[in-house]
Chains A and B, each alone.
Chain A
Amino acid sequence: MALALDTPDRDTRRRRTRRPGIASVTLVPAAILVLLAVLGPVLVPFSPIDVVDRPDLPPGGAHWFGTDSAGMDVFSRTIAATRNNLLIGLITTVLATSLGILIGLVVGMNESRRGPVGTLARGVSRALDLVQAVPAIIIGLVLIAFFGASIPSLTVALTVCLLPNQARLVRAEVLRVRGEAYLDAARVSGDSELVLIAKHVLPNSSWPALENASLVFGSAIVLTAGLGFLGVGLHPPTPEWGSMIAIGAPGAASGRWWSALFPAVALALTVFAVSGVGRRLFGDD
């Protein structure tokens, strides 16, 4: 016959098998981090928000990480800050990812429609591109200026910064999934559009945002610290790594390195630990 001969079984889709089990070294740093966030504030030797000794004491006996220029214990503050920084990062990641998936799904499914719904979806799509083009730190600054610096307002601001990318990732995947033959097959099998979206489009198009979630978490942590460093994040004496680095920076210039270094190391280790979780879950290293 003049028909196509053997066409090899093409399955270009990446096969992402999620390896089971949590007994993995890559999760250990993250587990320690969570423990510190939960228990840190009760474990620390000194109050993290009070002046407890003379200022600028170097690391040693009573104060393992020394004291800062105000006389607060750097070790206690570094540990206690874990909860604030992690909490903001976590809530931001959950919000930005779930809202991003929702928006990406709605936009992707409606973008090519005629009528007002399609126009609206295309408008949102452009808006996402636009917000994406503005540096997150600027959006953060503006929003914080509006809502004031508190954990809820920081979370909202960072969610607004980080949501567009999540939504765009999902939208692009929805556009691909929308053309898949199994959707028409499901329609012919009697599925309504709502069932179709919930059971087939959502599960098949949300993975880019989930894979990206650990990066979002990292960005949220870094942005929180960045805003704190710029003096518009959580205000001292609330323990927060960014503002601690800012307090310690002048001292570091004249040799009192400890009060800026330890929170900076904590920040770096946190981002590293979280990226370990991402690699563990999605095995893309």
Chain B
Amino acid sequence: MSATIQFTDVRRVFRGRGGAEHAAVDGVDLLVDSSTRLGIVGESGSGKSTVVRMMLGLDHPTAGSVEFDGVPLASMSAPALRAFRRQVQLVAQDTSSSFDPRRTLRDALRKPCHNLLELDTAAADAAIDRTLEALSLDPALAARKPHQVSGGQRQRFSIARALVVEPTVIVCDEAVSALDVSVQGSVLNLLKEHCENHDAGLVFVSHGLPATAFISEELVVMYQGRVVERGPVGRVLFETEHPYTQTLVDAYRVTEGVPS
């Protein structure tokens, strides 16, 4: 078994103001590994980001378990967690806050090289430059602070930060949602190519069906914290079972002109 993340009956409850409990994620089973590109789609508030945080060990289930190669992320030792992070990386939504405003982009990219690959600074910089070039980014830009590059460039840096350790699974949470449409296409293609060339798995999470359908092989549809539909992209799009999915697909047909 290698690089498999398994969600078993995962539930994550948040306590709101006044003590009212609210299940952001409820009874979710998922299997993620390097063999597929999995899309998770659902409207805003359906629990996608909560799933992503638990998938990366940044948050833990209230009930059920999230395991990496059979070990629960919640009880991993520090070295095991580093080994996990070496394999599973995150590309977060581009907000101006995805990089520390006080530090250069290169500082941010050196971090995974130092912490996870144990490279010295020279070797880290070489790896960073290689990764940036593969993403058609000028390595000179890395000397800048995050607010000194464009949103599209910053998002590529965010991808570079994930790819620099050559992970076996890349998790993207709304990775292109904040970018304008022309930039979205190129970022999606970059991700897809990287996964194909490196045999890496992808978890692509977004509220938008078009981008998710484009890049994924398998689709999971989330609604109010639950998985309401899953299957190969073609089946979910054309033999929809759940009414919520149908509304997503209808909107997709209108915008993309997919034949019914």
Contact = CB atoms under 8 A, between A and B. Distances in A.
A187 B112 CA distance: 9
A72 B122 CA distance: 68
A182 B147 contact: no
B215 to A, nearest CB: 13
Interface string A131-159: 00000000000000000000000000000
Contact of B116 (A2, A181, A190): A190
Nearest to A1: B210
A189 B85 contact: yes
B211 A1 contact: yes
Contacts of A192: 78
A11 B147 contact: yes
Given A190-B111, A190-B115, A182 B99 contact: yes
Contact of B210 (A2, A184, A189, A203): A2
Given A184-B58, A189-B116, A5 B181 contact: yes
- The size class of the interface chain A forms with chain B is 20 to 34
Contact of A189 (B112, B147, B177): B112
A19 interface: no
A130 interface: no
* B contact patch SS: helix
Interface stretch (B87-95, B126-134, B235-243): B87-95
A6 B89 contact: no
Nearest to A190: B115
B161 A189 contact: yes
Nearest to A15: B147
A88 B108 CA distance: 41
A3 B115 contact: no
B251 interface: yes
B192 interface: no
B115 A191 contact: yes
Interface in A197-248: 200, 203-204
Given A3-B208, A7-B151, A181 B93 contact: yes
A285 interface: no
A4 B177 CA distance: 6
A200 B100 CA distance: 7
Counting chain A CB atoms within 10 Å of each CB, the highest count among B82, B102, B211 belongs to B102
Nearest to A180: B97
B252 interface: yes
B150 interface: yes
Contacts of A253: none
A22 interface: no
Nearest to B53: A184
B255 interface: yes
Interface in A52-66: none
Interface string B105-120: 0001001101110000
A203 B53 CA distance: 25
A182 B177 CA distance: 18
A188 B90 CA distance: 7
Interface string A253-265: 0000000000000
A9 interface: yes
Contacts of B150: 9
A9 B97 CA distance: 11
B89 to A, nearest CB: 6
A5 B180 contact: yes
A13 B96 contact: yes
A272 B9 CA distance: 64
A37 interface: no
Interface in A1-34: 1-7, 9-13, 15
Nearest to B109: A189
Interface in B207-233: 208-211
Contacts of B209: 2
A186 interface: yes
B231 to A, nearest CB: 22
Contact of A2 (B151, B180, B208): B208
- Closest 4 CB pairs between A and B? A190-B115, A6-B180, A189-B111, A189-B112
19 contacts: A2-B208, A2-B252, A2-B255, A3-B211, A7-B180, A9-B147, A180-B97, A181-B97, A182-B99, A182-B108, A185-B90, A185-B108, A185-B158, A185-B161, A188-B85, A189-B111, A189-B116, A203-B102, A204-B102
Given A182-B100, A190-B112, A192-B78, 8 more contacts: A7-B178, A7-B179, A11-B96, A185-B92, A187-B58, A188-B56, A189-B111, A190-B116
